[in-house]
């Protein structure tokens, strides 16, 4: 299917690896000109044909600079994909184990960074009658499925998407959310990621944890979600093919969440 994206422009945050990199690759393959924002840009971004921008979005001043550079580079902005997030490592304890500093760090990266980038990008997106896709998590619906600070931040992100769709829909901007379940990314596979910390807390090898994760989370596909599967959904929602779709939250979790 032709997604009618050829010649469009996009800004993707959190783009260096995992879901973000897959989104950049999917959009570029459709003919989109992409600015890819990452704390540490990778050779894979250059190979995808994206213009990489090194930026730390935990710095409140960086969002405005990033969007200004992206709009200047692209000559406007049709699509914003807010994928920046993480900071879940070291949060495998319970609610009483988390400090104010940890809460602030996780909320800043997983919620407020998106608030700032979207706020800076909305004038250009409104001019283009463009679209926003936020990458949240199934943890927004089942908050016990991950670190409480992380899933709380993702719940706020999901709510933000619905609020923005209502406010900016009349101005021609569509806003949708994608909520993945466990995805085969560094969050689970890195020796220093959340999965490694959880495996250590449970006293099991990380490989055994990953092998049992689909069943433990109620997934019906007996494997983790692949980053390119998430990217395909993001690209569709960002495209003119989804022109009647806005204010939605799409699970891509292998059937883990059982409620509507």
| pLDDT tens over the chain, length 260 residues | 899 999 999 999 999 999 999 999 999 999 999 999 999 999 999 999 999 999 999 999 999 999 999 999 999 999 999 999 986 666 767 899 999 999 999 999 999 999 999 999 999 999 999 999 999 999 999 988 778 999 999 999 999 999 999 999 999 999 999 999 999 988 888 887 878 888 888 899 999 999 999 999 999 999 999 999 999 999 999 999 999 999 999 999 999 999 87
Nearest 5°: the CA angle 80, 17, 73 is 40
Q: What is the pTM of this model?
A: 0.95
Q: Which domain holds residue 41?
A: 9-183+226-252
Total tally of structural domains belonging to the chain: 1
| Residue 192 domain flag | no
Residue 4 lies in a domain: no
Residues with active-site annotation: 150
Q: Write the CA distances from 47 to 16, 43, 251, integer angstroms.
A: 12, 6, 29
The CATH number of whichever domain residue 85 belongs to comes to 3.40.50.720
pLDDT tens figures, 172-201? 999 999 999 999 988 888 887 878 888 888
On whether residue 72 sits in a domain, the answer given is yes
Place of tokens 């299917």: 1
Nearest to 108 by CA among 175, 157, 159, 148: 157
235 is a domain residue:
yes
- Report the distance separating Cα 73 and Cα 34, nearest Å: 9
Q: Is 208 domain-assigned?
A: no
Residue 105 inside a domain? The answer is: yes
Cα 170 to its chain centre, rounded Å, is: 25
Residue 216 lies in a domain: no
Residue 98 counted as domain residue? yes
């Amino acid at each position: 299917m032709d997604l009618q994206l050829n010649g469009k422009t996009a800004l993707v945050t959190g783009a260096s690896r995992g879901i973000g990199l897959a989104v950049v690759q999917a959009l570029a393959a459709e003919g989109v000109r992409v600015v890819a924002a990452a704390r540490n840009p990778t050779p894979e971004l250059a190979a995808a044909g994206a213009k990489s921008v090194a930026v730390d979005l935990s710095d409140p001043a960086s969002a405005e600079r990033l969007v200004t550079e992206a709009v200047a580079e692209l000559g406007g902005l049709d699509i914003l994909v807010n994928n920046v997030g993480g900071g879940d490592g070291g949060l495998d304890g319970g609610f009483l184990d988390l400090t104010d500093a940890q809460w602030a760090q996780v909320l800043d990266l997983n919620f407020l960074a998106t608030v700032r980038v979207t706020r800076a990008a909305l004038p250009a997106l409104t001019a283009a009658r463009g679209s926003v896709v936020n990458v949240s998590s199934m943890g927004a619906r089942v908050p016990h499925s991950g670190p409480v600070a992380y899933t709380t931040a993702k719940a706020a992100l999901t709510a933000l998407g619905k609020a923005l769709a209502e406010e900016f829909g009349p101005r021609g901007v569509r806003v949708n959310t994608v909520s993945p379940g466990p995805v085969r990314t560094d969050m689970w596979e890195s020796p220093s990621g959340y999965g490694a910390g959880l495996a250590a807390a449970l006293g099991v090898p990380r490989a055994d944890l990953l092998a049992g994760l689909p069943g433990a989370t109620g997934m019906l596909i007996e494997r983790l979600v692949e980053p390119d599967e998430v990217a395909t959904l993001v690209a569709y929602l960002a495209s003119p093919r989804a022109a009647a779709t806005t204010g939605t939250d799409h699970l891509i979790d292998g059937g883990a969440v059982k409620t509507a």
